[in-house]
Amino acid sequence: MSKLIVHKYGGTSMGSVERIRNVARRVAKWHRAGFQMVVVPSAMSGETNRLLGLAKACATGFGADGVALDAAHATPQAHPSARELDLIAATGEQVSSGLLAIALQAYGIDAVSFAGWQVPIRTDSAFTKARIESIDDAKVRTHLNAGRVVIITGFQGVDSDGDITTLGRGGSDTSAVAVAAALAAEECLIYTDVDGVYTTDPRVVPEAQRLARITFEEMLEMASLGSKVLQIRSVEFAGKYKVKTRVLSSLTDPAMDLAIEASSGTLITFEEDPDGAHTMEQAIISGIAFNRDEAKITLTRVPDQPGVAFRILGPIADANIDVDMIIQNASIDGHTDFSFTVHRNEYQRAIEVLNAKVLQDVGAAEVIGDAKIAKVSVVGIGMRSHVGIASLMFKTLAEERINIEMISTSEIKISAVIADRYMELAVRALHKAFGLDAPAGHVGTSN
């Protein structure tokens, strides 16, 4: 039986009739080479935003241009119903799927498109952020076995009431990986407007290199730390169901040699996969991730007694605020400073909670906040078997005279909080220190 491959095309790749025709040419090439093909497209670029904008305009009584449609009855605080939002937003993928089928047919390829509910892709009922529960492969297989290219809408599914749901912004990546898992596909190729996953953001470090492969665990750390190539949930899915997933460019010539295309980009894989095995020369560290998404909060002179951490963080958890890093200093005369970080969007709220509910209760001196921080992390599974990673990281930062305010570690990651004005300097220095810079004058690929 011929091998089954899933392709996913992002909004930019599907952005115009011209580009959809290019996608069709590329898919036709793979189909003619003998692969069974399932294609999962996103909505045309900008379309999901446009649809959600319309919904918002109807909810608030303001036109999309911000002018009140009916000033007397405008209710600017209204929240559009999530069920209806999904019905609307899901149409973007339906249009691009149908268009791709037509473009393929125009190239003489038998193709059929399905919306999520037609497959069906079953989800829970959490509108705008639904999770896939199961995918029925029967209908898809029947069409594949009849020699057809099967196109399945990304981003959407159907719940047990028959209502259309969507998987959250960027959810087509997750649709594609889930479809690949359900069909036990050979590989899931995610075509996008970047040509792979890099050792760090090339806009910060021009010497950054494309990684030929990365494990899904590393990718999760890189993605959640701000290297936003794929929706994080798709990477979790790839890890859980062992779907080989490749990120590659859709901007190449659709007629390019298939074997070259098939090995381009970055393969997200598993340590135990022979294709994914790290070679001897493999750098111990795969990448440097960074973000400015967090803010630091400190309670000073907290009495050092059992239960204070709970009395501080309990009310924060009750307010549904996620805490990332936590640090408590050694106590001096029975008092200690207690610091933690939260997402910047929740910073003000966290400070309010502390002032209203915690400061007096624990008897601390004051609440101090600092939003001008950045988090820089070195990521690599090589850390499991090598010592000295943390010391090289701290030495490198020390040589640049960058003060470390907080530290956290996992098995494959070390993160440091620093002042945000040093973020780019830190990333460049670490990238170099860990041997990730491409050789001078060479835009390279790292294995």
Min dist. Cβ of residue 25 to ligand ASP (A): 21
Closest residue to ligand ASP, judged by C-beta, is 172
Q: Largest Cα–Cα distance of the chain, in whole Å?
A: 81
Nearer to ligand ASP, 193 or 253 (CB): 193
User: Binding string, 77-106, against ligand ASP, x = CB under 6 A?
Assistant: ---------------x--------------
335-343, strands of its sheet edge to edge: 323-328, 335-343, 294-303, 366-370
Residues 40-79, interacting with ligand ASP (CB under 6 A)? 42-43, 48
Q: Which does 169 bind (CB under 5 to 8 A by kind): Mg ion, ligand ASP, none?
A: ligand ASP
Nearer to ligand ASP, 39 or 43 (CB): 43
Nearer to Mg ion, 232 or 351 (CB): 232
User: Binding string, 144-173, against Mg ion, x = CB under 5 A?
Assistant: --------------------------x---
Of residues 255, 249, 296, the one with CA closest to residue 404: 296
Residues 163-222, interacting with Mg ion (CB under 5 A)? 170
Nearer to ligand ASP, 85 or 312 (CB): 85
Residue 316 identity (one-letter amino acid):
I
Contact 212, 233 (CB under 8 A): no
Q: How far apart are CA 63 and CA 71, in angstroms?
A: 11
Write out the two tokens for 236.
Answer: 């979790």
Residues 158-183 as b or e (16 or more Cβ within 10 Å = b): bbeeebbbbbeebbbbbbbbbbbbbb
Burial class (CB in 10 A: 0-12, 13-18, 19+), 328: middle
Q: Give the bridge partners for 25, in sequence order.
A: none
Q: How far apart are CA 379 and CA 383, in angstroms?
A: 8
Residues 5-24, interacting with Mg ion (CB under 5 A)? 10
Min dist. Cβ of residue 116 to ligand ASP (A): 12
Q: Which does 154 bind (CB under 5 to 8 A by kind): ligand ASP, Mg ion, none?
A: ligand ASP
Residues 8-37, interacting with ligand ASP (CB under 6 A)? 11
Interaction between residue 127 and ligand ASP (CB under 6 A): no
User: Binding string, 163-182, against ligand ASP, x = CB under 6 A?
Assistant: ------xxxxx---------
Q: How many CB atoms lie within 10 A of CB 283?
A: 17
Q: Which residues contact ligand ASP (rule: CB under 6 A)? A: 11, 42-43, 48, 92, 154-155, 169-173
